[in-house]
Structure 1
Amino acid sequence: MKRIVKVTKSIAMMVVAGALMLACSQALQTSYDYDSSVNLKQFKTFNVEPESKNEQDPLLGSELNKRRLKDAVVEVMQAKGYKLDNNPEIMVRFMTDVKERQQVRSNNMYSPYMWWYGGGNNISTYNYQESRFILNIYQKNSDRMIWQGWASGKVKAPTKKDDRETMVKNTMADILRTFPEATLDTYSRK
């Protein structure tokens, strides 16, 4: 009896651990790139707009999500010490897109007992959509890109309105995490 309880607990722990690993693997992956010849800490003012050069995804790039993205970027940049300005030093432009992806899984089932149980190579494919949120930061006077950050992965639709805004804000904060804060020596009050 004790052995059955012990085995049941072990199986339950493996199921919980597997579920946690699966939940963690669904998170968006973030990364960034920048122009190393530009001192990113010299800027103090910014403005935000959608990227006009690329076509937005109809769902992620909807008017509602554009407002959410803009509000989230403004909030995160202001929390970093930057001032929203109509004549900014840097322009933050955002875009979204969705790519069709396919994952191929192979399960090699060959064994020494293949003649008894059967066996072979079981191949399956899984189609999914990968979403990307991209922030491009341009130096206003030259319109030259100086920093780019992005998050990509599978996005689950949140269930409540507040969850959508929270998800967008957290995603923008994750993307901008590596962008430097405005320093006190470059910060000026108007």
Structure 2
Amino acid sequence: MKTAQKLLMLFTVVLALAGCTTLRTASDYDKNVDLSGYKTYNFYDKGIARIKLNNLDKRRLMAAVESEMNAKGFTKSDRPDLLVNLVVVAREKTDVYGPAYYGGWGWGWRGGWGNPFWGGGTYVNQYIDGTIIIDFLDPAKKILFWHGQGSGFNLDNFNKREQRLYTGVKEILAQYPSIVSAAK
């Protein structure tokens, strides 16, 4: 019976952690700006210099953005229509699980047959939770015209990190209005 309790607790923890693997994305844009006029891009150098990631992850993030921008039909240029600004915000997060209630079967509390009981220990998961922000800036007008973000990126998890960065950037940039994306 104790094995079943432990398996149930482990399953609950794994399920809770699995729910934390996808990014929560959101975006906003200036509806007064004609987005169809933007066809070329480059990175905003001052923003890239401020990204709080190691250089390996910074290059991965930029490569993911380049890949997705190219897939959307944009072209990288030295004289771009838009600048891509990247920001990564990190905060320490702690998740606490347990003890959990098991049972519920039986006759009564503190007596009778099949008492319900509390079981398992408390599990603590500490990690760095990241938010990836992608902003599109118009260098001629000096305005921000599109903002996208994805929160819930576990920066302490090195498992399939490059793949998760690419997936995260893809999910964020999927928020860019498709009816006005650059023509291919």
TM-score, scaled relative to structure 1: 0.67
TM-score (norm 2): 0.69
The corresponding residue for 1:64 is: 56
**Secondary structure in 1 aligned to 2:87?**
strand
**Which residue does the alignment assign to 1:139?**
138
* 2:149 aligned residue: 150
Residue by residue, what CA displacement relative to the aligned partner does 1:128-158 show, whole Å, maximum 9, x if unpaired? 4321111111012022111111111141523
Q: Name the counterpart of 2:163.
A: 166
Q: In structure 1, which of residues 99, 103, 125 is the aligned counterpart of residue 91 of structure 2? A: 99
Question: Corresponding residue for 1:4?
Answer: none
1:29 aligns with 2:55: no
For the residues of structure 1 that align with 2:31 and 2:24, how far apart are their CA atoms?
23
Asked whether the 8 Å contact 2:94–2:126 carries over to 1, the reply is: yes
Superposition RMSD in Å: 3.9
- Secondary structure (helix, strand or coil) at the match of 2:61 reads helix
Instruction: Tell me, in whole angstroms, the C-alpha distance in 2 between the residues paired with 1:152 and 1:16.
Output: 25
Partner-residue secondary structure (3-state), 2:79: coil
- 1:44–1:89: 8 Å Cα contact kept in structure 2? yes
1:126 Cα shift? Answer: 6.7
SS in 1 for 2:31: coil
Question: d(CA) in 1 for partners of 2:15 and 2:30?
Answer: 37
Task: Map 1:65-80 to 2 at 5 A.
Answer: 65-80=57-72
Unpaired runs of at least 5, structure 2? 102-107, 111-115
Distance 2:124 2:10 in 1: 24
* Structure 1: runs of 5 or more not aligned: 1-7
Alpha-carbon offset, residue 52 of structure 1:
3.0
Contact 1:91 1:138 in 2 (8 A): yes
Note closer, same or farther for the CA distance 1:32–1:151 as it changes in structure 2 (3 Å cut): same
Mapping 1:38-53, distance limit 5 Å: 38-49=33-44, 51-52=46-47
Is the CA contact 1:41–1:180 (under 8 Å) kept in the aligned structure 2?
no
- Report the counterpart of residue 113 of structure 2 in structure 1: none
* Overall identity of the aligned pairs, in %: 25
Count residues in correspondence: 165
- Report if the CA contact (8 A) 1:54-1:95 is conserved: no
Kindly provide the amino acid, as one letter, of the partner of residue 145 in structure 1.
L
SS of 1:25 mapped into structure 2: coil
Residues of 2 paired with 1:84 and 1:105: CA distance? Answer: 46
Q: Does 2:76 align with 1:84?
A: yes
